[in-house]
Amino acid sequence: METPGETRPCPRGHLLDLPWEDILVPHILCHLPLRQLLSLQRVSKSFQTLIQLYLANMRCFDSSQVGPHLPKAAFCNLLKDNEVLQQLALQNCSDWLTDKELLPVIGQNHHLQEIQLSSCLQLSRHALVAISLSCPQVRCLSLAHCEWVDSLSLRSLADHCKGLESLDLTACRQLKDEAICYLAQKCSRLKSLSLAVNANVGDTAVEEIAKCCPELEHLDLTGCLRVKNESIRYQVCLTVHAGWGPSMWGQSGGAEERGRGDQRERREAGSLPCLLLWCWVQWELCAAGGGCCQALEECRYKMQWIWAWLQ
């Protein structure tokens, strides 16, 4: 019987008493750095079992969270039971990562949407083919400085991963215009594409990208020495033109159509900076081609009106 004034001891709870799959894994462990989780499994066998359950159900794996150098054996052990990965970043594994280690992970994770393989030089074209066949939902893929990427493997990617939105092919020097054109035709949802540091890329590829990828927001052509200024202008014109080109203004340029164009522009005020860019390009092209005075005056009027509105 409890005596007067005596405090009743509170029952001690334990972290592992919480539901593992409903609470600990999805709501608590996911907020801890992977390095700390790996240390936590040394506490007891129960914690080790809990961390193994977490590793089998984690959606994102970034090798940089483990440390600057992730050992090969540790990598294979961490992902051996995982089949639900959506993001995979392996830049820190570039020193040793080969097809032997990567292909089993790709083969059992069919829901991957983001894959980072920058500078993984010891892989082969079979890695990209495996990604295209096993991960059709991939949206973002970084293959920067992976010189093993060739035309055939890129074609396989384009055929099977048509939902690609971001692709980094920096310094993939085996690729030429033909492969890039095929990619643009198949992956029309691209928003970001890097073809930097590739002297094989020329005007043909850039113009095909402009035609086939209307949602493109970022195109890196740094170091593409064969690409001429005319192709860059063509890219700008077609990209800007795709959403709201000259049809917004009418064809004759009369006062009545200008008035209707003004009203439409007020509804599309968010596009005014881009429209100003389009008009500037038109002005430059007209001037360079010896355009008539009426065309130059039309461009000048449009630029003045937009500039006044932005002020």
Cα–Cα dist 183/123, whole Å: 21
Maximum distance among all alpha carbons in the chain? 105
Q: How far is C-alpha 242 from the geometric centre of its chain's CA atoms? A: 22
Residue pair 99/123 in contact by the 8 Å Cβ criterion:
yes
Question: Where are the extended beta strands (E) located within the chain?
Answer: 60-62, 87-89, 114-116, 140-142, 166-168, 192-194, 218-220
For residue 24, what is the DSSP state? I
Question: What are the residue ranges of helices labelled H in 146-254?
Answer: 151-160, 177-186, 203-212, 229-244
pLDDT at 271: 47
| Residue 304, C-beta contacts closer than 8 angstroms, at least 6 positions apart | none
CB 99 within 8 A of CB 124: yes
Pull the structure tokens for residue 155: 């074609």
In this structure, the number of other CB atoms found within 10 A of the CB of residue 88 comes to 24
For helices 293-310 and 255-267, the axis angle rounded to 10 degrees is 30
Q: pTM of the prediction? A: 0.71
Provide block-wise average pLDDT over 10 residues at a time, the chain (311 residues): 53 76 85 86 89 92 86 90 96 92 96 96 97 97 97 97 97 96 96 94 91 90 85 62 39 38 44 52 54 59 57 54
Asked if 64 contacts 89 with a C-beta cutoff of 8 angstroms, the reply is: yes
DSSP state of 68: S
Instruction: List the structure tokens of 138.
Output: 């991939």
Per the listing, tokens 């890695």 go with 127
Question: What is residue 192's three-state secondary structure?
Answer: strand
Are 37 and 54 in contact by the 8 Å Cβ rule? The answer is: yes
Task: State the burial class of residue 218 (Cβ atoms within 10 Å of its Cβ: 0-12, 13-18, 19+).
Answer: exposed
Question: Would you state the pLDDT for residue 19?
Answer: 87
How many Cα atoms sit within 13 Å of 77 on the Cβ side?
8
Distance CA 237, CA 139 (A): 26
Give residue 275's pLDDT: 52
Residue 192: which of 221, 171, 159, 229 has the closest Cα? 221
Q: What is d(CA 205, CA 187) in angstroms, rounded to the nearest whole number?
A: 14
- What is residue 269's DSSP assignment? G
The three-class DSSP label of residue 61 is strand
Q: Token pair for residue 52?
A: 């193994």
